[in-house]
Every structure is written in structure tokens, then in C-alpha cells.
Structure 1
């Protein structure tokens, strides 16, 4: 019988790619999520009966145990960028992560992979980063043999980074940027998924891995790359951190008044996070150590950002026609 893996958050941005790769490798997969009906699309990644969405909330002991029982491996991809209600940073990143690892140990799960975040640091001014670090500590306390993956900004077709700013560029002549000089090392979501699957398959991979792509650029530079891809000229407007903190405070207050109906465009904690570079440290193990060759942004961004171009899908046809006319002129 094929091996069974439970992927907590297996229908999310990173989780769905991990689920798809595991299916290609022949695993049976439980996609453990809070809303299984919204994860039914993951069934198409495998053959009938190979992938089954199940209910689980990492804040709930019983549901985590049921989703984990009889599994050979567990992957936890659950995380929040903006806390809401009971899904606080501490509840999800710290307590939830520790709960998954502890129950995996109690249930005799062979391999545990935990997806954290680059910048996880118990001394960080950002609560997001501190709770990510606390979650890593909780995971390792329960499972010293766990694999912890720390990706930088993750990009891919469903990302909330390049897509978000490309959508803004389609409507606005200005791209406001907080932390314009803060450096990032964006990593392709398929590379993160490959790293997770390789970590499961290799018993010698225990420990922490920092995942970044082959390119490092600051926030403003990443916006310039995005604008080049979508063929738009926009003003990139660097804004000071104090302005971001003020806007974040007002946005959070409005969100609280509307009981979460209005999502803050930026939070004070995100501004704190932007004060530090988000790049792989020189001594850290990374993608290469997990058998993955990092994918450059230029190989991927045009494949999913083309809808934001002025001519959308027809931009490629236009460019092809221009090249054809140029060849004809050269031949004449």
C-alpha cells in the first residue's frame, strides 16, 4: 500500500504545490483544512481516491489527531499574514505548530516537515517573526528530527506579492512602497514544494533550511522588475516607515470597527517586518542542500503576470508580429 501523508493547509498557496508533487510521487494524501469543501480541487492532482480533503483546525486537538492518525508523514503549511479573530499569530504559528508536531510524535509519524518563514527570530520587533520562531522551537521540542523550511517571499501564479502590486499598477499611476531599500530573495513556489517533498523522502535532512532564489533585490527593484514584465510605466514612490505605521494603525482600527469586514492594506506589524532584510544567511543550508536548483524570477514572472499587461494575452501576439516584420525587413 502507498504511503500516507497529511498536509495541513494543503489547499493554500504553498500547500497545493506540495500536495501536487506528493501526488506525482505516489503518496496518498490527506489535505487537512478548515473548509474541506473549498479544497475539493486538490483531488484533480491525483488519481481517484488518492487525495482526500479532511477537516482539521490546528487550534483544535481532536481534529489534528484524527487528521494525523496512521500517517507516515506530516507537513504543516498553515500560517497567517494578518491575524483575525481566534487565528492570532500565537495561536497559529506557535501553539498550532507545536500541537501538530507533538501529536505527530504521539501518533508515531515518521517524518515531520514544518514550513516557517525566513526572518523567524525571537528577538524581532515583529510579532509575526517572533511567533514563527516560537513555533519552530515548539516543533523541535516535540520532534528534534523535524525539517524546518524558511522561505523568503514566495512567488508563483497565486502569490499575494507580485499579483497584488501588478493589479495596483493596472489601476494607479503610483506604486507606494514602504521599505523600498529592504532586500528580499524571492523563491519560486515550485522550488519550495520540491524542497518539502525531498525533505520527506530523505531521512538525513533534519534541521533548518533557508530557502531563497538565485537573485537578491530590494523592494523597489522588485517593483521595477514587475513593471517591466507587465509593460507599464509607473512611479515607484518610497514612503517612510513612520507613515506606514500610521496608516497601519488607522487601517487596523477600521478593521476592528467593521469586525474584520475591511482588511488592512498594511499593518503595523508588517511595517516592523519590513525594517529587516529578508535574505538567506551565508552559512545556512538551503535549496541546493535539498536537491533543488533555484529558479530565477525571469523564467516564471511572465508566465503568470501577462494578464496585467495593457494588451493582456495579445501582448505576446503583438511582439511576435513585430519580430516577424523585422525579419522580413532585414531579409528584404
Structure 2
């Protein structure tokens, strides 16, 4: 039985990846600082949860030993320059070094659409540096670059639906920025295909693997469009007030002062200064024989509905793919 370490396996995308891989017969190890964070995956067949700190290089090597592959999903959206460097650059470097020491060749790394050394945000620039670290390590590597990811349990469309349940108007920064949202199940499927190195190489028409894949859905929306859809498919649709840039930055600065993870940061605004859509500089999901699902076909199954029927619809949609 093939074995894989899923770093970030307790997160939104990670839970779907673990479900997908265990159905394909992988033995999965999910490291986490606190086992309680893995409550949604530890019940899955062939999933082993271990408490450890993957940012400790010695602990990471212990985890990777005797495994066949690694999936890296660890990422942050907010933080200082040092925070982004630690998570998006230093961790990939530690992964590359641990893979070399443990004899692990196969790595699937989930980066981000818009990752660029010249990107306007710390997030985008650090994501690009992390990719380069792994590309230079001589690994059997696949990099996935998703646009914003949606699905049951997301912090994107669900957030906008909840805001419209509460407030009579939505003051919105970056309202005109365009996105190409991708369903979390399609990203999980891309990870699964990425782990099948020979199949992926064949799909790409290449003799070796090291390809970057752009993971996007079939439709392009402005952020304002997506907020309206979240309200429409949720409980109510509210009016949107597109914020001018100066007021948007003030709002983000205030959000950063609040306890917990901010709804929006100034670095997020920097990211949204450019559109988050396919560049066509790299292959898309169709290369992996994946036909991406649209927001229109999936979002109504979970937005504004918390009951069992909504979950059943979502499971049926997943099973039918």
C-alpha cells in the first residue's frame, strides 16, 4: 500500500484531500500540533494522526521516513513578512531537505494562482519563493495553483452569505477584482492525480513530472458578483457598496487590529490589485482529465442551508463525479 504524508491535512482543503486519497487506497499520515484539530479526518480509514511540529526539521524528517510521497497544503493568508517566510518558504525548504534525507521523491505542492516573485503582495511573493525552493530540489514535483477555493465549509462564500444575513449593506473592498473560483473537490482530485506520477506525465505528454497546473473553475466573476451569488443562494441578497481604495485600506487596517484571524488585511488588498484568473501560461485541470464544476452547480447545495438535505445533495454531487 502506498503511503503519503499530508501536511495541512486538518484544514479545509486537507480534509477533502484525505477523503479522496483514502478512497483510492492510500495510507495517510496527518501531522498536527494538536490532535483535536484533526477530528474531521481521524475517523477516516487508513488515516493516522500524529501530534508534532512540522516546522521542526527533525520532527518533519521523522514523519516523512518510510513514506512514498508528500502533499503540502500548509499556507497562511495573513501575517508579517517573517510569518509568510516561515510558512511559505522555510517549510518548503525543510520539506525538500527531509525528502532528500528520507528518500522521498514524489511531492505535490499546493501553491496559489498569482504566485509571482514580482507579485504586489507578500503572500504572492512568498508563495513564488516557496515554489522555487521545491523546483530546485530535484524532486518528482507537481505544483497546483488554485484560484479561490469554494465548497461546503469554506470561509469564502459562507462568509459573504453570513454577512448578508446580518447587515443591510455590504461595504466591499476589491469589488471589481476578478476571480475564477474552483471547487474544493476538483482541487482534491488534482492532488490525487498529481500523486500518480506516471499517469500525470502521460497526460502532460512529458517524460518527467515537474509541471505547474492552474486549478480554476469554468467561470470568471468579479468579487461583487460572488457576493451577490452568496446572498442569492443563501438566505438573502443585500446591496453592495464598493469601497474606494483609501477607505478599503482603512477598513482592512481596522480588521487587522481585531482579535483572531482578520476578515481582510492590507496584504489581501494588495493581492486583489490584480485579477485572480487563469493566465494560460500553464496547463489547466482538463490536462488532468478533470472537468471543473461551477459555482452555480455546487454553491446552492450548501449556502444558507445547514440541514441534512443540503449535505446529502453535496455528497450525491461528489459521488456522481
TM over 0.5: yes
In 1, Cα distance between the equivalents of 2:172 and 2:254? 18
- Stretch deviating more after TM superposition (17-26 or 203-212): 203-212
Alignment deviations for residues 62-90 of structure 1 (CA, whole Å, 9 cap, x no partner): 11111111110100000011227x98111
- Stretch deviating more after TM superposition (19-28 or 55-64): 55-64
Are residue 145 (structure 1) and residue 140 (structure 2) matched? yes
Normalising by structure 1, what TM-score?
A: 0.85
Native 8 Å contact 2:158 2:303 kept in 1 = yes
- Stretch deviating more after TM superposition (63-72 or 51-60): 51-60
Look up the match of 2:206: none
Look up the match of 1:298: 296
Native 8 Å contact 1:195 1:291 kept in 2 = no
Look up the match of 1:64: 60
Native 8 Å contact 1:198 1:291 kept in 2 = no
Shift of 1:306: 2.8
Look up the match of 1:82: 78
Native 8 Å contact 1:102 1:139 kept in 2 = no
Look up the match of 1:207: 211
Look up the match of 2:87: 92
Shift of 1:180: 1.1
Native 8 Å contact 1:6 1:71 kept in 2 = yes
Q: What does 1:231-310 correspond to in 2, within 5 Å?
A: 231-252=235-256, 254-255=257-258, 261-307=259-305
Native 8 Å contact 2:106 2:139 kept in 1 = no
Alignment deviations for residues 136-181 of structure 1 (CA, whole Å, 9 cap, x no partner): 0111111343100000000011111101111101111111211111
SS, match of residue 305 in structure 1: coil
SS, match of residue 172 in structure 2: strand
In 2, Cα distance between the equivalents of 1:313 and 1:44? 20
Alignment deviations for residues 101-141 of structure 1 (CA, whole Å, 9 cap, x no partner): 22113211131000101110111120011000010011111
**CA 1:70–1:262 in structure 2 vs 1: closer, same or farther (change >3 Å)?**
closer
Shift of 1:202: 2.7
Which of 34, 46, 53 is equivalent to 2:49?
Answer: 53
Which has more radius of gyration? 1
Aligned length: 301
Look up the match of 1:189: 184
Alignment deviations for residues 215-269 of structure 1 (CA, whole Å, 9 cap, x no partner): 01111111122222125231111012221222223333x35xxxxx344332110
Q: What does 1:148-163 correspond to in 2, within 5 Å?
A: 148-163=143-158
In 1, Cα distance between the equivalents of 2:36 and 2:262? 27
SS, match of residue 17 in structure 1: helix
Native 8 Å contact 2:120 2:273 kept in 1 = no
Alignment deviations for residues 41-78 of structure 1 (CA, whole Å, 9 cap, x no partner): 313222xxx21111343321011111111110100000
- Segments of structure 1 that go 5 or more residues without pairing to the other structure are 256-260, 316-332
Alignment deviations for residues 182-236 of structure 1 (CA, whole Å, 9 cap, x no partner): 1000000000000001010133242111110000111111112222212523111
Native 8 Å contact 2:135 2:210 kept in 1 = no
SS, match of residue 192 in structure 2: helix
Look up the match of 1:321: none
RMSD over aligned Cα atoms: 2.0
In 2, Cα distance between the equivalents of 1:262 and 1:54? 26
In 1, Cα distance between the equivalents of 2:249 and 2:128? 23
